[in-house]
Structure 1
Amino acid sequence: MNQTSPQPSALSQILGACPHDCPDTCSLLTTVQNGVAIKVQGNPAHPHTAGSLCTKVSRYTERTYHPERILQPLKRVGPKGAGQFETVSWDAALGDIAARLSAIAARDPQAILPYSYAGTMGLVQGESMAARFFNRLGTSHLERTICAAAGGEGLMQTLGGKVGMRVEFFAESKLILIWGSNSISSNLHFWRYATQAKRDGAKLICIDPRQSETAEKCHEHIALLPGTDGALALGLMHELIQNDWLDHDYLDRHTLGWEALKERALQWPPERAAAICGIAPEQIRDLAKDYGASASSRAPAAIRMNYGLQRVHGGGNAVRLIACLPALIGAWRHRAGGVLLSSSGAFPVQRAALQRPDLLAGRTPRTINMSTIGNDLLRPASPEFGPAIAALVVYNSNPVAIAPESAKVAQGFARDDLFTVVLEHFQTDTADYADYILPATTQLEHWDTHSAYGHTDALLNRPAIAPLGEAKPNTQIFRELAARMGLTEPCFADSDEALCRQAYGEAVDFATLLAQGFATLPTPDAPFVQGNFPTPSGKCEFFSQQLAAQGLDGLPDHVPNHEVAHSASAYPLAMISPPARNFLNSSFVNVKSLQTTEGEPLLEIHPIDAAARHIADDDTVRVFNDRGHYHCRARVSTRARAGVVNGLGVWWRKLGLNGTNVNQLTSQNLTDLGHGPTFYDCLVEVTVVPAGV
């Protein structure tokens, strides 16, 4: 295997890493011929990837060589949102951007806001040079909450960090609860371990409002109402206690707050929990019996959570309650028992070295939550808020499509007095509002290094091909902007390869990353068999003193949705918006083969709800609430449970039937913990759009 830089006339295979927001973080193998990437496949030498990729990333060459790829800097020449641009030189673009940002920074650097997320999960192209640039200027800080903030905080307050089982040991489990995850679509390599366990006799139970592809492959599907996962967990605890399906020794030695949690759980008999969840009490009893059997039989029981369940008002508490369950039955005694939501806390990332918070020089800029960007862009200057946002620099994100209550987001981006720079591959919904679009490289064209949140291997990405056109890595764009703005600190001269080395310092052997593309972290097989949780007490904290000190309930509890199902007669349907199978957030939406497979924006609606509204399969429907309306195609299907519709996303707004997408309807309300978004906490109504409208 040739690991040198690709030669134009050579046939080579280059090791890389998938950059996208997925737990699997696959190791890639890119075949390059005559300087052109001709194939991207999974690295067969990487145990987790095992040579296989999802459909999306297997089409990565189609994305890299897409005919609509932006390969020159563009300057807006028409109204904001119209998508009218002309090509300009890098020199002209960077000169004007630097001058305008410098003028704003001279007045108040906090009027400048960076906006980014997981368009790449890379530690280098994601937040290294960009963070240095914005820290040095003293701009507003972006609170990056839009995916996992509530669940991450729930884990922190219970287990002490984003830690849990090693994913490969799910293959040895005898009971697997797949909770809030369509693993076949969003965690394919975990699904491989789960199906291995299934072949060996394990029982698989899916807990999800939607009858997903994963739910269809499990032995049982519990279709609870959105936002009721905490109530279900409390109902399970009630039955575990009542039937003494408990590991008393583990509870006594390795938990904190058991008696208080026990008292709370005993207030949640199956009938109460089932009424809130919209399921039969017997489903809770049967699930508790299956789960509790592990305490006596020593057959390992495992829970794979994903982030769908925490995108509601009570998402943080729901994750806390579910994360408590393994300690009740002693599941942590087994390497194939416990829970996994995220493994990212296991990675020794040297964030201070990458991001250089010392460049703030003692300043404490204000923080703006990315999930409320719609409100904040429209907020005037005030003593409480500070200066109005005067400039946005967007990279690795498409907020006009993916942020909640997108009508307000688009309205904010349309402000004539807002200076907007977007680093992008394509002319997305957000790029349409930019004053400048700067062409960024794709993963095949730059260096990067990666952690993961679904396994415990660090990965390295080498550039497989030279940058197309005039595209530049994010890092280089921010280096050049820093130079234009007179920022002369030596850290702005660090090369991308140097940044890759800084990402883990001495904690991960860089020679190993260079040689095989990945390095496995030395993590224990069964991390909490003897307790030793990374909490303040060293125990699984049913009671969190940290939360109590903030004036919050130290015990986890069911927290109802902001918009509780059946609570508003005008909007009788709950709506969740899980990703369409062939997209990843708003990435891949414009890849022709994937867009063709996906078809068009869909709303899944149960036959009972469809009949009540005279909706037939394939009708165009109007989905609406007080925040706006969205047109899409109806799919009458039992994938949706009665009373809940599934608005599959996230399509670009410009590709929607009426120029909107599902986030026209979602709210800027936040979660109980972590200040996260509440995408799945949303009430709507649905009507047929008359023919010809």
Structure 2
Amino acid sequence: MKVLGACPLDCPDACSWVVTVEDGKAVGLRGNKEHPVTRGALCVKVNRYLEQLHSTERIRYPMRRVGPKGSGQFERISWDEALGEIATRLTGIIDEYGGEAIWPFHGTGSLGYIQGLEGFSGRRFFNALGASLHDPTICSIAGSTGLKYTLGTSGGMDPEDLAKSKLILLWGTNPLTSGHHGWKFIQDSDAYTVAIDPVRSRTAERCDEHLAPLPGTDAALALGLMHVVLSLGAEDTAYLAEHTEGWPEFRARIEEFTPERVAGITGLPMERIVALGERIARTRPTAIRASQGMQRHAGGGMALRTLACLPGVTGDWAIPGGGLHYSTSGHFELNLPELVRFDLLPHPVRTLSMTRLGEALLGTDDPPVKALFVIAANPVGSNPQQAKVIEGLRREDLFTVVLEHFPTDTVDYADIVLPATMQPEHLDVIAAYGNMYLVWNEPAVPPPGECLSTTETFRRLAGRMGLTEPALFDSDEELARQLLKGYDVERLRAEGFLKVPVKSVPVGKLQFISRRAAQAGHDPLAGYNPPADPGDGLVLISAASHYFLNTTFGANPELRRRAGDPRVTLHPDDAAARSIETGDPITVSNERGSFTAIAEVSDMVRPGVAATPKGRWAKLSGGATVNATIAERDSDFGGGAVFHDNRVQITRTPAAG
């Protein structure tokens, strides 16, 4: 039997897949050949998904902690015991502190709108309790906010139109590692490709040209490129007059960023900036593909805001194959209010920032966080300032419940662990953020042991707590139909995927000057916000791993073997200054924490920059990962994370004894 499904992981591609089932067991998994983006292929990570599904390490039963927090010592209990204990503890917390003392902490371990996606699953239940809201600030919010200031939407060009482009700037993105299906549309074009990335990634190796600016200087580079366009008189005056607002003021700002000045900011040779600017000036259509990495610093929101201005100056927004693609989420018209049901809140409640977990657990009052539900997340592995997060999770007065598949670093700090289903075992709906397709996930096999879907877990918990609101007990299919009101659900379910219409971008006129930005306390004019880490040393980039996806697959034996030991790459000049050679054990540290790794000396990174892949589990990596060094500090827009605004010291680790 073949069952159509959808990859739920935090990747722009949202692949449609086909599960082969024999005797009630999933025995095969492949990409759906009919899907125009998946085209029959899955990535190196998801090709091993069935190993995850059938792993003997999988959590199959509810568990209660019996050792100290962090010890990972648990005993098996029944669902009745687990639900009873959770209900009793939550009732007591609500009675003493109120519902806002409960924090439902959702991650991107599943992007399913029914079972996961940063708070939609279970949100009705928590709303009925009056729990705090969860603000998913850790991933893309700074860039999305910046794009909305410029374009009126975070949605951009249809990525399939990259096949029509003549020049493609791959700006801070490495699709051959994270989202390789998008590369196919680039291959379908005859475009000249330029990678703009501090690291010579797999993608950069395949491009016609690679520029390596200092991290966090992307907006300055964009302004410098626009300066070259203006110097050649290549701006699209008709588009600027008819479709933009604030052009005279923005033109004056561009003129401040001469190629000479931008070279000093970015660390790039001036002649390379001029050459690329000239290429942009004479090439239509030009497309920009940007992704989340480039906005994970103090000026990240402004970087995307300013980058979206470049196709306005050249008029590329009006040309098929021109414009910018960051996320397609803004094109999907999903009925989120009916799914989430904020009307169930008994009163207005506070919002807690995902990025500031450690700070909130240790310092929030009125009320303090007394209960934490971790859903589709592994904050010990994924959040900034790892040591502070762990300190918060060690609180004896914090009641922590984790819904999980595997014994992650975060599970070790739980009071109750609940076994969750995986994607082939439940119904779900996925909306891609790297293409224009909705994807339906049909349950293919029964779950092992006593695993329950996230939705069923909260239906049962609502009943155990005596809640009677009918919406808390809607079935998964009812939830999906509410979400997809306005779409052809029967066709989506039968065919497995459905392309949504592409909205016009920008919405209205492109805003070089944004009143919304001004109202939020930001510079109303697009420009450049520099990095803000006050430390010295090297800037450490922690981009996506080719073998892990966030911390998913971080314990997969074969993928760990392929990834090898934790490594940090240094430029030869920086390594020589520190007497470090390839293979040396090193310690990476700053005032926030430290971790150990093996040195790799290579010119794949530019001078002044070090790089290490993210996605490691701390307990499998010497007790700490790169996130031990990253600050709980906000980006300029939206309170986003600053993973790439991180300066560290790197030293050779002395031999033991």
Question: 1:632-643 maps to which residues of 2 (within 5 A)?
Answer: 632-643=597-608
1:185-211 Cα deviation digits (max 9, x unpaired):
0120111111222xx3x1000000111
- Partner Cα separation in structure 1 for residue 392 and residue 501 of structure 2: 47
1:38 aligns with 2:30: no
User: What residue is the counterpart of 1:367 in the other structure?
Assistant: 351
In 2, the alpha carbon distance for the partners of 1:513 and 1:129 equals: 21
Q: Deviations over 1:637-673 (max 9, x none)?
A: 122211100021120110113x000000000111111
**Code of the aligned partner of 1:335:** P
Which of 247, 251, 256 does residue 258 from structure 1 map onto? Answer: 247
Q: Which residue of 2 aligns with 1:142?
A: 134
Counterpart among 357, 362, 366 of residue 378 in structure 1 = 362
Encode CA deviations 1:30-77: one digit per residue, 9 max, x unaligned. 111111111111000111111011111111100111110000001000
Match of 1:9 in 2: none
Contact 1:125 1:473 in 2 (8 A): yes
- Using the TM superposition, give the Cα deviation of residue 691 of structure 1 relative to its aligned residue in structure 2, in angstroms: 2.1
Amino acid in structure 2 at the alignment position of 1:28: W
Any idea what the Cα deviations from partners look like across 1:551-591, whole Å, max 9, x if unmatched? 32101221111116xxx4xx321111112111111111111
Paired letter, 1:320: R
* Paired letter, 1:560: P
2:327 aligns with 342
Give the deviation of 1:380 after TM superposition. 5.2
Aligned to 2:162: 170
Q: Distance in 2 between matches of 1:333 and 1:429?
A: 48
Please state if 1:631 is matched with 2:604: no
| Amino acid across the alignment from 1:113 | W
2:331 touches 2:501 (CA, 8 Å); kept in 1? no
1:131 aligns with 2:131: no
Residue equivalent to 1:186: 178
1:50 to 39, 50, 55: 39
User: Which structure 1 residue ranges, 5 or more long, are not aligned?
Assistant: 1-11
Deviations 1:66-90 (CA, angstroms, capped at 9, x unpaired)? 1100000010000000100010000
Q: Look up the equivalent residue of 1:563 and give its one-letter code.
A: D
Question: 1:648 aligns to what?
Answer: 613
Tell me if structure 2 keeps the 8 A contact 1:128–1:499: no
C-alpha separation in 1, matches of 2:640 and 2:457 = 30
Q: How far does residue 486 in structure 1 lie from its aligned partner after superposition? A: 1.2
Give, in angstroms, the shift of residue 549 of structure 1.
2.2
Which of 101, 107, 123 is the equivalent residue of 1:117? 107
2:120 and 2:640 mapped to 1: Cα distance?
A: 23
Partner of 1:451: 431
Of 450, 458, 461, 1:478 maps to: 458
Aligned mates of 1:356, 1:243 — CA distance in 2:
53
TM-score, normalised on structure 1? 0.93
The one of 382, 386, 389 equivalent to 1:406 is 386
Which residue of 1 is the match for residue 188 of structure 2? 196
**What is the aligned partner in structure 2 of residue 14 from structure 1?**
3
Helix, strand or coil at the partner of 1:189: helix
Cα offsets for 1:337-396 (capped at 9, x unmatched): 1110011011111111111111014x1111111101111111152xxxx21111100001
Where do 1:46-445 residues align within 5 Å? 46-107=35-96, 108-126=98-116, 127-197=119-189, 200=190, 202-294=191-283, 299-361=284-346, 363-379=347-363, 381=365, 386-445=366-425
Q: Which string of whole-angstrom CA distances, capped at 9 and with x for unpartnered residues, describes residues 510-568 of structure 1?
A: 111111101111226xx34xxxx32xxx101111011112332101221111116xxx4
Q: Which amino acid aligns with 1:450?
A: I
Q: Which residue of 2 aligns with 1:514?
A: 493
Amino acid at match of 1:187: G
For 1:287-336, what per-residue CA distance to the aligned partner results, in whole angstroms no more than 9, with x for missing partners? 11111113xxxx31100011111000000000001001101111122211
Matched, 1:674 2:638: yes
C-alpha distance in 1 between matches for 2:94 and 2:241: 56
The alpha-carbon deviation at position 175 of structure 1 amounts to: 0.3
TM-score, normalization by structure 2: 0.98
In 1, the alpha carbon distance for the partners of 2:269 and 2:561 equals 39
Deviation per residue, 1:394-441 (Å, 9 max, x gap): 001001111001100000001111100000000101000000110000
Equivalent-residue separation in structure 2 for 1:159 and 1:380 (angstroms): 35
> Structure 1, residues 623-648: CA drift from partner, whole Å, max 9, x if none?
00001111011111122211100021
Distance (whole Å) between structure 2 residues aligned to residue 238 and residue 151 of structure 1: 23
Aligned residue identity for 2:7:
C
Q: Indicate whether 1:563 and 2:523 are aligned.
A: no
Please give the secondary structure, in 1, of the residue aligned with 2:5: strand
Instruction: Indicate the SS of the match to 2:114.
Output: helix
Amino acid at match of 2:490: A
Residues 1:23 and 2:2 are matched in the alignment: no
Code of the aligned partner of 1:226 = P
Give the conservation status (yes or no) of the 8 Å contact 2:163–2:188.
yes
Q: Distance in 2 between matches of 1:604 and 1:128?
A: 38
Q: C-alpha separation between the residues in 1 aligned to 2:537 and 2:267?
A: 14
What is the percentage of aligned positions where both structures have the same residue?
45
Residues 231-273 of structure 1: per-residue CA shift (max 9 Å, x gap): 1011111111121111100000000111110001100101111
User: What amino acid maps onto 2:330 in structure 1?
Assistant: G
Equivalent position amino acid for 1:119 in 2: G
SS of equivalent to 2:177 = helix
Task: Summarize the Cα distance change of 1:64–1:677 in structure 2 as closer, same or farther, 3 Å threshold.
Answer: same
* 2:539 matches 1:574: yes
Aligned residues: 654
Residue by residue over 1:137-165, the C-alpha shift from the partner in whole angstroms, topping out at 9 and shown as x without a partner, is 11111111100010010111111112111
Taking the aligned partners of 1:72 and 1:179, their CA distance within structure 2 comes to 44
Query: Which residue identity lines up with residue 145 of structure 1 in the other structure?
Result: T
Q: Note the aligned Cα RMSD (angstroms).
A: 1.1
Does 1:554 find its partner at 2:533? no
Q: Give the letter aligned to residue 195 of structure 2.
A: C
User: CA shift at 1:464, angstroms?
Assistant: 1.0
Structure 1 residue 504, shift from structure 2 partner: 1.3
- Indicate conservation of the 8 Å contact 1:650/1:662, yes or no: no
Residue of structure 2 equivalent to 1:3: none
The 5 A counterparts of 1:555-634 are 555-563=525-533, 568=535, 571-634=536-599
| Alpha carbons of structure 1 residues 461 and 375: separation in structure 2 relative to 1, 3 Å | same
Secondary structure of 1:624's match?
Answer: strand
Alignment-derived partner of residue 539 in structure 1: 509
Letter of the aligned partner of 1:672 in structure 2? D
Letter in 2 for 1:241: L
Q: Distance in 2 between matches of 1:65 and 1:49?
A: 24
CA shift at 1:129, angstroms? 4.4
SS of equivalent residue, structure 2 residue 640? coil
**Counterpart secondary structure, 2:256:** coil
Instruction: Report if the CA contact (8 A) 2:541-2:643 is conserved.
Output: yes
